Every structure is written in structure tokens, then in C-alpha cells.
Amino acid sequence: MATVKKDIEEVSDKITKVRHIVKKRAEKLEEKKLQETPLSEGKSWKELEFSHPERTIRIGTLFSGIGAIEHAFQRLGLKHKIAFAGDIEPKCKLSYFANYEISEEDWFYDVRDFDAKKYKGKVDFVIGGAPCQAFSMVGHRLGFEDARGTLFYEFARVVKETSPKLFLFENVRGLLNHDKGRTWQIMHDIFEELGYDVKFRVLNSCNYGIPQHRERVYCLGFRKPTKFEYPAPIELEYKMYDFLEDYIDTKYFLKEKGIKFVTSHKNRDKSYTQINGDIQLCQKRNQQFNWHGDFVYHPDSELTPTDEAFDEFIFDVKDVEEKYYLSEKVAKYVLAGGTKNFKTSTETDLDVARPLLQSMHKMHRAGVDNYVTHKGRIRKLTPRECLRLMGFKDSFKIVVSDTAIYQQAGNSIVVDVLIALLKQLDITKYGI
């Protein structure tokens, strides 16, 4: 937490200057209602063909992470060249260099120290999603008062210095209503002042092929006036279960404390946790370490949940309140088998239930009540599953620790949404 506080309260001459500029702009701002760009009503983006597949698109990325746009180009099989990329997180560099072709001299560490002037005329498409915690609904929402919020100006500066044919700026949807919409209006105005035709819309990844609820603002800027409509949603063909691995290391299974948190009625009602969901909750960089997010009920059986012979009467753990589980103390009592003067059967999971009694709620009637165990355990998603649910194919090499890749996946842009945008744009028109 100390690191986050330091990021928020960080002070430098540049940050102070940006805050001063924002304050002056806010004072002079003539408020207007900015309308989201409409969705296309024409041919589905899935059916669109690229007009110039022989061309190469030169891309430059900021806050590059693990290269979502780069992976999108790989998946589409499009010719591209990485002009520059960078990220302040050292482990992102390890993942990036393991998966993409880039020279050391074209990688930067801190965007605030990055001089992009030498790339002017050498990049077609600039992409970046500045850190979103400053505007996130679940963050501090300090906006430009948060040092991370001022990094938007670095993105705008790089656009100005490189003058690409188009840019893509991605952020959380909370950006649009931050400070009653004034924050977004300032950003929008700055992009227009740079000479770009600006379009924007909130898109949810579950509408573009990935079963994850992740709403983000996708802002496009065109150097020339351009008629553009955002790709229309498609029907979701897959459930989260389709993205899971077959064989799981035992280290991903939760212990008692984690299970109690994940299955609690309060946490599930507030959508902090979800078990066996069809559509994933929005991935976050720290979800695997605070037991928030998605979990899987994993059967300990030779049969899998997709097997028709699987026992349909094994109830789903998400339907069972934690209060129905025996505490360790009561469980020991129930399974003790009685005393030397009184012996009783301690069988659980009976084929035929014992008579149901009105006193069952007391939960200590060994040998009389019916007790069941779940034929399975609850586990968290693996790093590979998290990557799959961000649109990264298994060709993406994992070269860092689980901790790092969980964070990198949660910070990424969903690749499939980018693919929809690239097809709708016919990105090859902007290549050389």
C-alpha cells in the first residue's frame, strides 16, 4: 500500500506543471455533452476482409504491458513492425521481449523520460492505455490530482511528437463521468487540438468473443477526418469453462480460509467473487491475492463436468451457503464414531439418506443426520487461464512468476476487442 500512496502523492516539476495546466483548462471549460460514436449497422466485423494485407503497419505502444495490440496483429497474421514500446514494470519487459521482436534501443522504461521526436514519420499507429487507477470506480478517483492521472499528458505528447496516422487510447469507463465529465472533456479537447478527428465508445469484451465482463473506453483519433462506426457486438459462443486447462497443479487449490471467503454470501452478492461463472468478472491485477475474482469448482473424479455420465445431482457449490459447512470442531465430533458405550456409523455421502429429522439444524447428531461432501475442491484460475480470458493464445510464452503474470494479465487490454477494432478500421489502409 505504501507504494500506491507514493504513486498518488508523487510530486515533480512536470506533474505540478500538468496539474496547473489542467486547473486552468477546467476554469475556462465550456461544458458540452460528448456523445459516444455509434455502433456499425453494416456488415459484421467478423466478415470484413483487409484491403491491403501486403502492407506493413508500424506501431508504437506506451504502457505496453505484455503487448495486447502486438498479439492482436500476430493472431490476425498481419505484417507489422514495432517502432517503439515501453513499460515502467521491469518484469513486463521480460514478457515482452520473450514474445515480440524489438530492439533494445526502441524500448523505454519511463514514458516521462521518453523522447519520441526521432520516430516522427516512422510510426503509423500509436496505442496506449495509461494507468487507470486514477479514474477507476474502485480506485481513489483523484483524476489529475493522482500522479498516474497526469500520464495521459505523456500519451498526448508522444502523439504530438510522432504524428501517427491514427491512435488508440484505452481506459476504464469511469473516466467518462469523472469530475462530472470534465476530465474526459479536457482529454477529448486536447486530442482535437492535436489535429485529430476523435471517436470514442465503451466496449465490453463479452460482446466481442471473450467471456469476461470488462468495460473499457476505446478512443480513436484519426489524423484525417474519417467516417467510422465501432464494431457491433457479436453473440458470445463460449463460456468461461471453455477456457480452462485440463490438468491443474495442486498449488492453485484454495485452503480453508480462502474457501470461506470465496463462498461467503456477502462476497458473492457483491460480485467480489464468483464460482463456475459463465462469464468472467473483470480481471484485476491483484485479484488472485485477495481472493477476489473468479474461482472454479474442480471435481476430484475420473469423470469431468463435461461428461454426460457425471452425477447431475452433485449440487453446485455456488448454491450452498458457507453456514451449511461444518466447522473443524463440529466435523471432528460428527466423525468421531461415538464413545466406548455408544458406537455409530459416521458414513457420509450415503446412497440412501437416513430419515430426515426436524432437529437436523443442530448439526451435531452423529450417526443420525445426513452429511455430504463436495466431490471436488475450489481453485483459482491459473495464469494461463487468465491469459486465455484476455485473448492471449497459448503461443504466448510465460517467462515470469505466477505473481507477475497474474498482474500483467489483469492490466492488459483484451486482445479480441482490439481484433474487432482492427478489422472494423481495416487497419491495413494505414500501412506502408
* Residue with cell string 514500446: 85
* Neighbour-count burial of 353, counting CB atoms closer than 10 A to its CB (0-12 exposed, 13-18 middle, 19+ buried): exposed
How far is residue 386's CA from residue 274's CA, in Å, rounded to a whole number?
14
How far is residue 174's CA from residue 133's CA, in Å, rounded to a whole number?
10
φ/ψ of 179, rounded to 5, equals 50, 45
Strand locations in 269-388 (E): 273-275, 293-299, 376-380
**Annotated catalytic, 386?**
no
Q: Give the angle 132-138-144 at the CA atoms, nearest 5°.
A: 45
Q: Give the angle 245-246-252 at the CA atoms, nearest 5°.
A: 65
Strand locations in 320-383 (E): 376-380
Say if CB 301 and CB 318 are below 8 A apart. Answer: no
Contacts of 22 (CB under 8 A, 6+ apart): 144, 150, 186
Say if CB 362 and CB 381 are below 8 A apart. Answer: no
Q: Which residues pair with 86 in a beta bridge?
A: 108
Strand locations in 56-135 (E): 57-62, 80-86, 107-108, 125-128
Instruction: Given the residues 92, 132, 282, 386, select the one marked as catalytic.
Output: 132
Amino acid letter, 377:
R
* Catalytic residue list: 132
